[in-house]
Amino acid sequence: MTSDSDLPIVDAHQHFWDLSEKTHPWLDGDLEIAFRYGDFSSLKRNYLPPDLARDSANQNVIGTVHVEAEWDPGDPVAETRWLHEVAEAHGRPNCIVAQAWFGRDDIDAVLQGHASFPLVRGIRQKPAAAPSPDAFRPGLPGSMADPDWRRGYALLGKYGLHYELQTRYWHLGEAADLARDFPDIPIVLNHAGVPEDRSADGLAAWRDGMARLADRPNVTVKISGIGQPDAAWTVEANRAVVLDCIGLFGVDRCMFASNYPVDSLVASYDTIFDGFKAITAGLDADDRRKLFAGNAIRVYRLDLPS
């Protein structure tokens, strides 16, 4: 029987950057952004595979998925090229979710460029979003309902790539419509739909959006990035969110991830993964293996060393 300390983990969402490359505008200078965890100045340092290995040393991490880290959008394929060099040197990451912008005129060439690299599996672009539920209007330019955006999105099928979606819960209805209209393009929802409003009304609205999205069989959810600013990451604070995701999407369409180093702002690596282990302690052993590694291996088509 596998103990919790030996439970294999594929970290399905992590980031690397080398600030000497001067390729990440949000980290390289004094760019002001509204960051959901508040002050992010401690992230303005190199974060490379040895750093992740140090942070995850107490966990049995057998593979990682690198998700685009907001590299300079002027040349998104350069991040993919750099990450292949990193993987060649360190054995991590084991696959890549790259950056592309569906509304741009060069979208076909960018997708073709990414798809030419063997580690690329999907594309993330955060669609345009309203700042609050009250401000939501359907069909915003650059949103998932924008016809120009959708024309670029449709090209994912041409290159065998899936879509990684990060958006707030009030846009999950649009995401469900997108999944319905493009049933052959898999969608991986990042960060559990960002349930940042933990009020009763906020969680109810989040669950409604997640339930609508869960009805689409081509959607999988990553349970990650569920920390809260100025609050400890605890089992008690996050148990309901984790179990609601699993209850809505089912064990076969959920996976765990660290969102490191971003979530180092709210918790240690061990706090996050030991928390997931505690929350799922009552589940069947096979189900836990799916949540921590098996589903990520399948979704990202990973070929891991024995």
Domain residue ranges of the chain, discontinuous segments joined by +: 4-299
Maximal CA-CA distance, the chain: 53
Map residue 47 onto helix, strand or coil: strand
User: Would you state the pLDDT for residue 157?
Assistant: 97
Q: Distance (Å, rounded) from C-alpha 171 to C-alpha 246?
A: 20
Within 8 A by CB and 6+ apart from 41, the residues are: none
Contact 160, 123 (CB under 8 A): no
Q: Distance (Å, rounded) from C-alpha 40 to C-alpha 31?
A: 11
Contact 22, 265 (CB under 8 A): no
**Residue 15 Cα to chain centre, angstroms:** 10
User: Would you state the pLDDT for residue 1?
Assistant: 39
- The pTM for the full model equals 0.96
Q: Distance (Å, rounded) from C-alpha 9 to C-alpha 215?
A: 27
Q: Which residues pair with 192 in a beta bridge?
A: none
List the chain pLDDT tens, one digit each, 306 residues: 356 889 999 999 999 999 999 999 999 987 778 889 999 999 999 999 999 999 999 999 999 999 999 999 999 999 999 999 999 999 999 999 999 999 999 999 999 999 999 999 999 999 999 999 999 998 899 999 999 999 999 999 999 999 999 999 999 999 999 999 999 999 999 999 999 999 999 999 999 999 999 999 999 999 999 999 989 999 999 999 999 999 999 999 999 999 999 999 999 999 999 999 999 999 999 999 999 999 999 999 999 876
User: Would you state the pLDDT for residue 306?
Assistant: 63
Return the beta strands (E) in the chain as ranges. 9-14, 61-67, 95-99, 120-124, 162-165, 187-189, 219-223, 254-256
CATH superfamily of 4-299: Metal-dependent hydrolases (3.20.20.140)
Question: What crossing angle do the helices spanning 200-214 and 235-249 adopt, rounded to 10°?
Answer: 30
User: Would you state the pLDDT for residue 33?
Assistant: 83
User: Would you state the pLDDT for residue 287?
Assistant: 98
Supply 205's token pair.
Answer: 């609205």
User: Would you state the pLDDT for residue 31?
Assistant: 75
Supply 34's token pair.
Answer: 């509204």
Q: Distance (Å, rounded) from C-alpha 10 to C-alpha 29?
A: 32
Q: Distance (Å, rounded) from C-alpha 69 to C-alpha 71?
A: 6
